[in-house]
Amino acid sequence: MELVVWVIILPLLTTFLLGISKIYYKKALFPLVIGSAVIYLFVLILVFINSSSPMVYSVGQWGRLGINLMVDPFSTLFLFIIALLFLPVMIFSLKYIKNHKHKYFIFSYLMIAGIAGMILTTDLFNLYVFLEVSSLSSIALTALKNTDKGIEGTFKYLMMSTLGSFFILLATILTYYVTGTLNMAEISLAFQDLPFNMKSTLMGMFVFGYVTKIGLIPFHAWIPDAYEDSPIPYNVFSSGLVLKSEIYALIKVLYLMFGIDFLDESGMLHIGVLWGVMTFIVAHCLAYQQTNLIRLLAYSSIAQIAYIMIGLFMGSEAGLIGGNFHILNHAIMKGTLFLVVAIFNFSLSAVDIKDMKGLGYKFPLLSFIFVVASLAIVGLPPFNGFISKWLIVEAALEAGFGYAGFFILVGTLLSCSYYLKVIVSLYTKNEEEQGMEAPGLSLQVPTIFLGLLCMVFGFIPALPLSLINKIPKFLLDNGEYIRVLLGG
């Protein structure tokens, strides 16, 4: 069996084994979770080593009629993000999650399997199936704490996710109806002869469906409600992988199926950039009003996703590089922030900004890591967020989207204002004594690891950019995708 197939099979197998262990031997949880996560990391590393050029892997012997998986520059970036986040968050979660542990890890592994399937599949229907596996697992994790707020947030998430899924499935069915195939390369060829209005209608359905799941305005309100009372380590997966994999699916459908020429001709690129600008302005303003730190980080995620969408919708090489670099950076930066807040919550049950008062002196190293990640996500040098955001601004000016570049700078000032509130609270003396539970190394080490990456990728951006620089050519010229997938 091809190694890349194990990127999907291993999480599914672990899900099954965790379910069996819950019934027969609960003590197997720790070795199963850590052992599988370590093996998974090695599998991903081996896939990276063998992914110097796009490769197609067929599951079974049915050729184009079977399930084909493709490792390409775009999917390799997302596999890299999984490799960076998955093991640290699993280690962190083993101590942090105190209730429903088996359910948490079962749904986490199932969610990763769905994300991996979305990233690797070349079939439009399988893309939808894996999307639903990921979405439903994510929704289940949101409800895990079984509180009133958690259930309310889960319900909103379920409703918006179902709405998005409906339009994606409808677009998939209609695409099959007009092309007679679900293979994305064959669809791309068939689209060349499709009338403009038909293509525009299909594209509108795909965009509406995915944007509803991603959370651009006016479909953003479910994200802070879903994050507020869900397990905080899950929020790292949600903002870093679940939402990003949906961005991946949308960009893959638009660039590889419809093609850059049609996106430009239809005006979709201008719509995407404008939509992104409107989203991050609203999200930053809402984030400033928050007193709950989890909700603040959730609105911040919406804003950062909007920056990513702006870069990816510019239709230029520079925009795609900046947007994809920000996908990687945001996963690291927001992961760091969520894990620090999770430690504060674990030790002191602190989630409001006022509860952070004085924690800079109780947790000096973790507070420093929080400050680093905050400055990085605001976009200040010399951290990684500055590099990717600056690349997006430069790309906007080069591509004629000057207003986007200007408002990104305005957004930087807005985000600085609300992150500064948290930092000031951290280093404001608190005379009240607070009972505290020591977090331990299993919580601190994963957090520090991600925090250090904010500095490493800022000081040495050439490391991740060597991976990202291959993506624009692959997306802008879908001929290579068609040739590799169809074997031409």
pLDDT digits (tens, 9 = 90+) for 422-453: 999 888 887 666 666 667 888 999 999 999 99
What pLDDT score was predicted for residue 29? 86
The vertex-235 CA angle with 11 and 79, nearest 5°, equals: 40
Per residue in 17-71, pLDDT (tens digit) is 998 888 888 788 888 999 999 999 999 999 888 777 778 887 765 555 567 888 8
Tell me the angle at which helices 293-312 and 317-348 cross, rounded to the nearest 10 degrees.
170
Per residue in 372-418, pLDDT (tens digit) is 999 999 988 889 989 999 999 999 999 889 999 999 999 999 999 99
Coil, helix or strand at residue 32? helix
What pTM was estimated for this model as a whole?
0.93
What pLDDT score was predicted for residue 431? 66
Which residues, including other chains, have CB under 8 Å from residue 152's CB and lie 6 or more apart?
225
What pLDDT score was predicted for residue 65? 54
Which residues of the chain, if any, have pLDDT below 50? none
- What the block records as the tokens of 405 is 């570049």
Report residue 25: phi and psi, to 5°. Answer: -155, 90
Whole-angstrom distance, CA of residue 271 vs CA of residue 268? 5
Whole-angstrom distance, CA of residue 19 vs CA of residue 488? 44
For residues 242 and 334, the answer to whether their CB atoms sit within 8 Å is no
Whole-angstrom distance, CA of residue 364 vs CA of residue 366? 6
Q: Is the peptide bond before 382 cis (omega within 30 degrees of 0)?
A: yes
What pLDDT score was predicted for residue 64? 53
Tell me the angle at which helices 124-142 and 101-120 cross, rounded to the nearest 10 degrees.
160
